[in-house]
Amino acid sequence: MSDIETYVIKFSIYAAIDGGLDGLARAIHVVRKAPIQFHDMAVIDAGKTKEVSLRISGRKKDVEWLAKKLEKVVEVLEVKVQKMPSEVAVIAAHT
């Protein structure tokens, strides 16, 4: 059985100084180097922060490592990792 599962990582980027694009770019650099599969990403403006949802698949260990790396990005305020419900993951895998 595969140990690859789908997760959503949610994090906030402090955007009060520069609008948040640099923080977002820095976070994407971190994601690029992680041993996970990237599916999609949504960014919502919330005033002083940008709220980012990242949908990825990978091993739990690697996803947790990615979350720790994201926490190190200076502009990142908070990181939450959620495993996606399996039915959602199945839908996601076929769309």
Partner 1 sequence: MLVSDALLEALEREGLKVAFGIPGSANLGLYEKIPDHDVNVILMRHEQGAAHAADAYGRVKRKVPGVAFATSGPGATNLVTGLATAYMDSAPMIAITGQVPTAVMGRDAFQETDVVGVTMPITKHSLLVRKPEHITWAVRAAKVISVTNRPGPVLVDVPRDFWKKDIDFYWPSDEELIREWIPGYNPNPPKPNPSLIMKAAKLLIEAENPVILVGGGVWWSFATDEVLKLAEVLMAPIVTTLMGKNAVPADHPLVLGNAGMHGRPEANYALYNADVVLAIGTRFSDRTVGNFEEFRKGKKIIHIDIDKSEIGKNIDPDVGIVADAREAVKVLREYIVNALKFRRDKEVPIIKKAKEFGEYAWEILLKERGRGMKPWKVLKIVREELPADAIVTTGVGGHQMWAALHYPVLKPGTYLTSGGLGTMGYGFPAAIGAKAAAPDKPVLDIDGDGSFLMTSQNLATVKQYGLNVGVLIFDNGSLQLIRQWQDLFFGHRRVGENLAYLPDFVKLANSFGIEGVRPENYDEMRKAIRRVAQGEALVIDYIVDPDIMVLPMVAPGKVISPENLILTPEQAAGITV
The footprint of partner 1 (CB under 8 A) covers 14, 16-18, 22, 25-26, 29, 33, 61, 65, 68-69, 71-77
| CA–CA separation, 32 and 47 (whole Å) | 26
Closest approach of partner 1 to the CB of residue 68, in Å: 4
Closest approach of partner 1 to the CB of residue 31, in Å: 11
Nearer to partner 1, 8 or 76 (CB): 76
Residue ranges of E strands in 15-67: 37-46, 49-59
Nearer to partner 1, 68 or 80 (CB): 68
| CA–CA separation, 52 and 32 (whole Å) | 15
Nearer to partner 1, 41 or 77 (CB): 77
Q: Residue 35 — φ and ψ, nearest 5°?
A: -80, 60
